[in-house]
Amino acid sequence: MTYCIGIRLNAGMVFLSDSRTNAGIDQISTFRKMMVYEKAGDRFMCLLSAGNLSVSQSVREILQLEKLDRGTELPPLTIWNAESMFDAVRVLGAAVRRVYQQDGPSLKAAGIDFNASFILGGQIKGEAMRMFLVYSAGNFIEATRETCFFQVGESKYGKPILDRVLTPATPLDEAAKCALVSMDSTLKSNLSVGLPLDLLVYREGSFSSNEIVCIDDTNPYFRMIHNTWGQRLREVFEGIDDPRWDGGNTQHPLLGGVSRYEPMRKITHPGERIV
């Protein structure tokens, strides 16, 4: 399995992915889940993938060659001539469906699900940044101001910090820190996600990015994140009052005057026979 995060903000976008592929306890490998498509001054796109590795690798290869027919008057649509990110994600969806047509029946016959999901974010000259979540059927949804990030893979462990911190106005460096904390929480709780990580920050209107790094277990910043986040969580936890069952002098009593809801009870009396 894997874990990938895509964040779309006012100032730019943040992409983060792990690189572990787990096909059993004795079949753990490292494969990159991030792919960058860049044409200087014209377009910049980043693709993150999760799910069946053979499916996602096939989709990435076909994506660079996929063409959507637009009739006789216009050249076929590709990610390299798409005039909008919406058209680019349509090409990605078509690539997913093509792989399904080619490999879906044989995978089903072998008892393997056609399982792959993608995050595609970027900017094409002439329009604003956009980010999409693409499902295994090739359909997709777009990030909005209300939902400014997407996750694929093992998302549940790292979601709480993203929900609490991120807004469209969050600065890019702060969002990158939040994504790394989210990844660290996932690494702590799920062995199917693992280092090294790929982190990329894209700044709006740049159509390129030099802020990209591969993070392994020796990276000083990520080691600081790991140690500091765990320590601060324990400090905050220890600073919260324990529940008081006997009332006592506390501003936050656990027991109110009357409890409206209690579990069902069966109370026995001395000498009562229990069947």
CATH assignment at residue 45: 3.60.20.10
Q: How confident is the model at residue 274 (pLDDT cuts 50, 70, 90)?
A: low
pLDDT of residue 34: 97
Residue 59 lies in a domain: yes
Say how far apart CA 274 and CA 269 lie, in whole Å: 10
Residue 270 lies in a domain: no
CA 23 remoteness from chain centre: 20
Domain tally, the chain: 1
- Could you read off the pLDDT of 12-48 as tens digits, one per residue? 999 999 998 865 556 677 899 999 999 999 999 999 9
When pLDDT is averaged across residues 146-160 and rounded to a whole number, the result is 96
- Could you read off the pLDDT of 168-189 as tens digits, one per residue? 999 999 999 999 999 999 999 9
pLDDT of residue 30: 86
Q: How confident is the model at residue 1 (pLDDT cuts 50, 70, 90)?
A: confident
pLDDT of residue 247: 66
Residue 236 lies in a domain: no
Residue 11 lies in a domain: yes
Helix (H) or strand (E) holding 203: strand 197-203
Residue 199 lies in a domain: yes
pLDDT of residue 119: 98
Q: Cα angle at 47 between 45 and 49, to 5 degrees?
A: 175
Give pTM, 2 decimals.
0.92
Residue 58 lies in a domain: yes
pLDDT of residue 27: 62
When pLDDT is averaged across residues 216-234 and rounded to a whole number, the result is 96
Is the Cβ–Cβ distance between 177 and 185 less than 8 Å? no
pLDDT of residue 5: 98
pLDDT of 155 over the 90 cut: yes
Is the Cβ–Cβ distance between 201 and 34 less than 8 Å? no
pLDDT of residue 172: 98
Concatenate the DSSP letters of all residues of 242-273 into one string. PP-TT--S-SS-SS-SS-S---------TTPP
Residue 272 lies in a domain: no
- Could you read off the pLDDT of 238-270 as tens digits, one per residue? 999 888 877 667 788 877 666 666 778 778 877
3-class DSSP assignment, residue 78: coil
Average pLDDT of the chain is 92
Residue 178 lies in a domain: yes
Domain enclosing residue 117, as ranges: 3-216
pLDDT of 3 over the 90 cut: yes
